[in-house]
Amino acid sequence: MSQEVMDGIRRSTLVIVGLTLVDKILALGKEMLFAYRFGISRELDVFNVAYAFPAILAMLLGQAVISALVPLYMTWRGRGPEELRRNLANLGLLALLFFLALTVVCAVWSAPIMAVIGYGFPEGEKALGDSLIRLLVWLIFLEGGAAVMAGVLQAEKSFLALYGAQLCINLAIIGTLAAFGDMGVHALAVGFLAGTAAKAVVMAVALRGSRFPLGPPRPPVRPALREFVLLAWPLVVGGLVVNSNILVDQVMSTELPSGSVSALRYAYRINDLPLQLFVMAAARAIFPYVSEQAEGHDVLGMRRVFWRGVLFSCMVSAGMTAFVLLFSTEIVALLLRRGAFGDQAVASTALTLSWYATGMLFAAYAVLNGVFFTALRKNVTLLVVGVVTMLLNAIFNLWFIRTIGGPEAVAMSTTVTMALTCLIFLAIIQRALGVFNEPPRAWPFLQVAGATLAAVGLALAAKLGLAWLGLAGLWAFPAAALVFGGGFLGSLVLSRDTEIRWCLGMVLPWGRARP
């Protein structure tokens, strides 16, 4: 494994983590504003369900375009700059036309769509959802139409422009809600649309000129389009299946008491923060590098990057899972308890968050595994596993909702489903790459486990000590959290293991020891 590749992954991840951190701080501010204005009201439930359909569709189609384009970009670049420019121009124009047509169709069918996804809502709330969907479906055009630009930026490792553009969305939502909050949830819809449009403009400016030529189709169109479709269609269908789990969760939650959909969404967003900030950042940084390795048939290099990614995922997941399980109530109260968000909402959201956090390691591994399967162009495999995941999720949702009830039942279902899915992924990637033919050293993983146990012990001792002094709840939370973080990171920073230090270097300005 070349030092150049590992240094490139580390530097790229640092850039992505930094920008994602800013974006997630803005996202937390947005969620706090949501909680203040709407609490876990039925109006917000309707918005969340109405937003889920176009958002998931735009995300999965856009991500399928990016995931299919990055490996193809490596192939087209190897054939010469003229073919690369021609294929990108043709694909960009066709993507715009496709997503425009899809948006118009969804806008026309907004009422039937809301009737299906909001089947548990009364008629008045379905009417509100219909009006929201007619606005929000334009996210499909804006997000999907810009997906080719995002794919080019990722393939070229232009992460500063790609993730800097992402900041526009949360900035626009916060600004719109602050200025036009009297519009209610319709202000949220306008904010999402304005931010997504601004994101597309920033990416277009970053790619101006010969890097992404625009214009009428330039023949031949069919060969490149065929290559793209063969890679993209399993990703679209598989992504639809996997990402529809979020929509299925929210739809099935409409049968639960009022506020359950919103509590589920708040908990999901909080739990998703470390995954987006660290694991997704690392996966996106790794993707173009392992795509180049796959193009060059460097199986040994891919195995080593895989195990390094697994170690990094374990490091993030172990620390964050333990932290959330210790402080779930304090986290939710600190972030959301204000305005319409009361103690009952805190308790429901905190319990749901705990169950989501229990499955963080499985979710992190699934993200990493998907990157390698896409780089290897085993997209049909991802499709099949996605179908199995959707079926398992629906079965466990139905079972846990009936036997346990509450939004925590849906989070519990997600954790169990992801655990079973990861077992399937491990068996398949062994056949694809033979990763267990060159297993990792156990010592770095043991150090992560030891650091987690040490941090938990120190945090529990701090909580007991502060309680003995008469300090509890939110007053004790910052001190105990600092003790946890200091114990966890301190244990790892003191390690001299090169793999541990490299993983730390993914998110901190050190860890440059050679692998």
241-244's contacts with Cβ under 8 Å and 24+ in sequence apart are 241/383, 241/386, 241/387, 241/389, 241/390, 242/60, 242/386, 242/389, 242/390, 243/56, 243/59, 243/60, 244/56, 244/390
pLDDT at 314 over 70: yes
Q: What is the pLDDT of residue 303?
A: 92
Dist. CA 101–CA 108, nearest whole Å = 11
**pLDDT given at position 18:** 87
What values do phi and psi take at 212, rounded to 5?
-145, 80
Let me know: does 20 contact 277? Beta carbons within 8 Å: yes
DSSP state of 441: P
What average pLDDT does the segment 458-465 reach?
90
Q: What pLDDT score was predicted for residue 216?
A: 66
Burial class (CB in 10 A: 0-12, 13-18, 19+), 124: exposed
d(CA 505, CA 418): 28
Distance CA 358, CA 415 (A): 7
Q: What is the pLDDT of residues 135-168, one digit of tens each?
A: 899 999 999 888 999 999 998 888 999 999 999 9
d(CA 446, CA 455): 14
d(CA 184, CA 309) in angstroms, rounded, equals 43
The answer to which of 38-47, 316-325, 362-371 has the lowest mean pLDDT is 38-47
Which pLDDT band, with edges at 50, 70 and 90, does 67 fall under?
confident
Q: What percent of the chain has pLDDT over 90?
A: 31
Answer whether residue 459 shows pLDDT above 80: yes
Instruction: Identify the residue with better confidence: 457 or 273.
Output: 457
CA distances from 427 to 93, 120, 297, 412, 420 (A): 40, 39, 21, 24, 11
Which of 15-19, 43-47, 120-124, 277-281 is predicted with the least confidence, judged by mean pLDDT?
120-124
Q: Rounded to whole angstroms, how far apart are CA atoms 499 and 508?
A: 14
DSSP letter at 475 equals: G
Nearest to 416 by CA among 362, 456, 452, 469: 362
Query: What is the C-alpha separation between 222 and 79, in angstroms, rounded?
Result: 16
More confidently predicted of 93 and 476: 93
Pair of tokens at residue 358: 């229990």
Q: Which amino acid is at 479?
A: A
Mean pLDDT over the full length of the chain: 85
Model pLDDT for residues 92-110, shown as the tens digit of each residue: 888 899 999 999 999 999 8
The pLDDT of residue 359 is 93
User: What local confidence, expressed as pLDDT, does residue 167 receive?
Assistant: 93
Give how far Cα 2 sits from Cα of 62, 280, 302, Å: 32, 23, 11
Cα-to-chain-centroid distance, residue 395 = 23
Q: Annotate 172-205 with DSSP letters as a single string.
A: HHHHHHHHHGGGTHHHHHHHHHHHHHHHHHHHHH
Helix residue spans in 39-122 (DSSP H) = 42-78, 81-108, 110-117
User: Per-residue pLDDT tens for 412-458?
Assistant: 999 999 999 999 999 999 998 999 998 999 999 999 999 999 999 99
Classified as helix, coil or strand, 296 is coil
In order, the DSSP letters of 204-250 are: HHHTTTTTS--SS--S--HHHHHHHHHHHHHHHHHHHHHHHHHHHHH
- The closest alpha carbon to 256, from 364, 388, 149, 408, belongs to 408
Give SS3 for 514: coil
CB 13 within 8 A of CB 277: no
pLDDT at 242: 60
pLDDT reported for residue 193: 94
Q: How far apart are CA 404 and CA 413, in angstroms?
A: 11
How many whole angstroms from its chain centre is CA 269? Answer: 10
